[in-house]
Structure 1
Amino acid sequence: MTDGQLAAEAPAAPVRRGGAAVRIAVIYVAARLATTLLLLLAAQLSGFGTRMGADADLGSTIVAWDGTWYWLIAYSGYPSQLPLTDAGQIAENAWAFLPIFPYLAQWVSLPFGQWAIGALIVSLVAGYAASLVLYRLLRLRLDESAALWAVVFFASGPLAALFQVGYAETLNLLWLFCALWCVMRRKYGWLYLLIPLMAFTRPGVLAFALFLALFGIWRWLIRRREHLGAREIVHIIVLGLLAVAAGFAWQAIAGWVTGDAGAYLSTELAWRRNWILGDASFAPFEAFDAGIRFWFVTMWQLPLVWGYIAVGAGIVAIAAALLFLPQVRRLGVEIRLWSASYLFYLVLVFFPQSSVFRLLVPLSPLWGAVAVPRSRVWRVGVLVACLVGQWWWIYNMYALGNTAWQVP
């Protein structure tokens, strides 16, 4: 598909674009009010022994969990000497978190004197911008109604609390959606800025490198149907290499500052030791395999083979959906390749635990497939399910938040 065809599918009239921005603003504000009420209720239900404590308020939700780490980075930076546990192992520390969000929130907070206010503003503004870009992204493939409903589901989804807490997710989604839009429109120049922004906001840019590799292969295979010039080939290759370099840059920086080449990896493994007894190590797929063993054998006391069968069936089902489900195919090859790349990346490096729900948020363009069916009953039903799921997540992660499976 050429640039001209893509442009023909997207709404081009300036008034139309302004109207979409207003409609999305109304959707976004309504969704944020709903989430605020749920967070207020969670704060009221928080008691002794929970992460936020018995005197929690709305501000407590902003700096809870990883928000505390981002706040710590904004005020004291990154340690030049890695902290150690009593057993002499690398302890949890700030190097697990990337710098753009905490420092941007600190800069925004200067007129207010509180980092939490800056973090809230950054998350809210980035969330609205991400919603608007998601709409533009999906309008390249879907009609206006489906694209708007996808934004409704995105803004009101089970993880919608991330739009107004001190997490870097919404800022990263903004960069990601812009990057996907650029690829879909073949506007590669902006990616030279967006890839480093992603790399220093949230882990996962290596998944984007894999996506660019797969996208480049696909472009080569269809070069007779859609012209593939030398300039585009160079862009895809150079951007893929940039994404790989950016993906390892933070590890190099952490090693240079601390004098320990494995500082970043050791820091990440410090979190896994909270789940697995003994030393944690890293190899491709090892963390995912360890997670299967932990959940199916240790926690649920089920045969290990059941875990492999369940995971294998899940992988086959996801692959089939990305390849054959009509609603997903309508989103275009780019979104499908990104989704496959990111899921493969998670299986490659991630230890599956309760944070998996949050780590699946970069798959949000797939809300477009959920919004394709035009049935009003279906769409309202999905919205209700989103709000119910949102309360379940907020209640468990913020009101309770005191067991292994209640970590956002």
Structure 2
Amino acid sequence: MADLSPSTRVAASWVTAPVAVRVGVLYLAARFVTTGLLLLAANLSTFGSRFGPDATLATLVTGWDAQWYWYVAVHGYPTVLPLTGSGQVAENQWAFMPLYAYLSEAVGLPFGAWAVGAVIVSLVAGYLASLVLFRMLTPKLGDPAAMWAVVFFAAGPLAALFQVGYAEALFLLWLFLSLWAVMQRRYGWLYLLIPLMGFTRPGVLAFALFLALHGIHRWLTRRTDSLTGVHVVHIVALGAWAVIVGFSWQVIAAAVTGDADAYLATELAWRRNWGLGGEGFVPVEGFIQGAAFWFTQWGLGPIVGYVALAVTVIGFAAFLVFVPQVKKLGVDLRLWAASYGVYLLLVFFPQSSIFRLLLPMSPLVGAFAVPRSTVWRVGVLCACLGGQWWWIYTMYALGDTIERVP
């Protein structure tokens, strides 16, 4: 070792360092960069922004949905749904799951501030999610590519969500642990992880679909991948468990408020901001309306929007099925991405929050780490950082219209 150059010794020390340390170093470096970008956004905030000209890092990390989670922690959930002047259900806390809000409150108690607890929870959950992502991808891609995937994940366009008062980082931790458990056939952990997901943020119904597709795939490949009776029981029971958990929040909201439609009416209250009614939920309607709305706004007309929607769906399916780098991730991660894509297509109205809602597809970043070219990987990292600044600047420094909501 004494005869080696300093750079060689550093490289050797890096390779032999514990995975938790390597991931931690990269994650902290990414958080340092994100903090700098948030500070710059605060400095660029003006009267036109919802944060005003006196914006600080603290006001940014507690802005937007973080205010709702804080409100849940302080005031709980309404027993009587608030109404607009026209008698429709107004935006309220029932749209936000309780686990992140109350966990942040508990962590923040020693500091006397919910916001401190929220940032700590997001930071720690983001680090642990990065660590689990590395563990998931290493058997498929190898150590170097998996570590690059962690870099892309920790420094990605939406990486600010790892240090603001949003539930995404905590949800990603539960999700990655769940996917890892499925990949390792350790189904027992899912009985705990599924409710943790379900009460952190919406999306567990997508996991129910994923388990169904996973079970079908295991049945079709049972001659090469032994499928035991115990595993069959687990997969079926867990699929049912995910469905129960997925609908439980609607049942709870109905029981507390006495309104059977409390949760869906609350969610649709946000859609009414776009002048699209929101009188009732119809699967896929949101994306169909969104395609017509946005392409009309852009002067292209609804027909072009419908064609673009169809091309996007078909293109994403082809991406999952045919792209070699994606295929290297394995069947389970691709089935999850497909399941979550179907879920979004069924329930969401596409607007600026779509970028945030795509985060659960983060395991796909592994595909961008497969090419071994250093130029390619550095280029992807630069694109991630550029996208991160665009998102932070748009949502926080500007943040002045309904079209700029994280």
TM range (shorter): over 0.9
2:111 alignment partner in structure 1: 112
Q: Pairwise mapping of residues 46-61 of structure 1 onto structure 2 (< 5 A)?
A: 46-61=45-60
Match of 2:144 in 1: 145
Aligned partner letter, 2:234: H
Shift of 1:58: 0.5
**Mapped contact 1:70–1:101 kept (Cα < 8 A):** yes
Aligned mates of 2:83, 2:387 — CA distance in 1: 38
CA distance in 2, matches of 1:398, 1:119: 18
Once the two structures are TM-superposed, the CA of residue 16 in structure 1 deviates from its matched residue by 8.4
The CA deviation at 1:303 is 2.2
For 1:374, the aligned partner's letter is: R
- Which whole-Å CA distance do the structure 2 matches of 1:224 and 1:184 have between them? 18
Q: 1:202 is paired with a residue of what secondary structure?
A: coil
C-alpha distance after superposition, 1:280-322 (max 9, x if no partner):
321111111111111112x112221111111111111111111
Residue 401 of structure 1 aligns with which residue?
399
Is the alpha carbon distance of 1:17 and 1:251 closer, same or farther for their aligned partners in structure 2, counting shifts above 3 Å?
Answer: farther
Counterpart of 2:294, as a letter, is W
Name the Cα RMSD after superposition: 1.2
Superposed counterparts of 1:7-406, under 5 Å? 19-297=18-296, 299-406=297-404
Instruction: Give the residue type in structure 1 aligned to 2:328.
Output: R
Q: Secondary structure at the match of 2:111?
A: coil
Deviation, 1:278, is: 3.6
Q: CA deviation at 1:378?
A: 0.2
Q: Is this contact kept in 2: 1:95–1:254, CA < 8 A? A: yes
- Classify the secondary structure of the residue corresponding to 2:25: helix
Name the stretch that deviates more: 128-137 or 315-324. 315-324
Give, in whole Å, the separation in 2 of the partners of 1:279 and 1:388.
Answer: 35
Contact 1:28 1:155 in 2 (8 A): yes
Please state how far the C-alpha of 1:30 moved relative to its aligned partner: 0.3
* C-alpha contact 1:62 1:119 (8 A) present in aligned 2: no
The code of the aligned residue for 1:140 comes to P
* 2:4 alignment counterpart: none
Q: Deviations over 1:330-366 (max 9, x none)?
A: 0000000000000010001100000000000000000
Question: Which AA in structure 1 matches 2:55?
Answer: A
Give the whole-Å Cα distance in 2 for the aligned partners of 1:305 and 1:78: 41
Letter matched to residue 263 of structure 2: Y
**Distance of 2:281 and 2:322 partners within structure 1:** 34
Tell me, yes or no, if the aligned pair for 1:272 and 1:280 is still in contact at 8 Å: no
4+ aligned runs moved over 2 Å, structure 1: 15-18, 276-281
Distance 1:234 1:350, change over 3 A: same
Distance 1:17 1:110, change over 3 A: farther
User: What SS does the aligned partner of 1:140 have?
Assistant: helix
| Local SS of the residue matching 1:119 | helix
What percentage of residue pairs aligned between the two structures are identical?
64
Task: Tell me, in whole angstroms, the C-alpha distance in 2 between the residues paired with 1:406 and 1:25.
Answer: 32
Q: TM-score, normalised by structure 2?
A: 0.95
- 8 Å Cα contact 1:354/1:407 also seen in 2: yes
Query: CA, structure 1 residues 17+195, in 2 after alignment: closer, same or farther (shift >3 Å)?
Result: farther
Deviation for aligned residue 1:96: 0.1
- Partner secondary structure for residue 24 of structure 2: helix
Query: Is the contact made by 2:292 and 2:301 (CA closer than 8 Å) also made in structure 1?
Result: no
AA matched with 2:346: L
Q: For 2:359 and 2:48, how far apart are their aligned partners in 1?
A: 29
Post-superposition offset of 1:221: 0.1
User: Would the aligned equivalents of 1:287 and 1:349 in 2 still touch at CA under 8 Å?
Assistant: yes
Post-superposition Cα deviations, 1:216-260, rounded to whole Å, max 9, x if no partner, equal 000000001111111000000000000000000000000000010
Q: Name the CA shift for 1:279/1:343 in 2 (closer, same or farther; >3 Å).
A: closer
Distance 1:33 1:166 in 2: 17
**Alignment partners' CA distance in 1, 2:40 and 2:244:** 44
CA 17–312 in structure 1, closer or farther in 2 if over 3 Å, else same: farther
Q: Does the aligned pair in 2 maintain the 1:276–1:294 contact within 8 Å? A: no
Task: Provide the rounded CA distance (Å) in 2 between the counterparts of 1:291 and 1:127.
Answer: 31
Distance 1:96 1:209, change over 3 A: same
Offset of 1:140 from its aligned partner? 2.2
Which residues of structure 1 form unaligned runs of 5+? Answer: 1-14
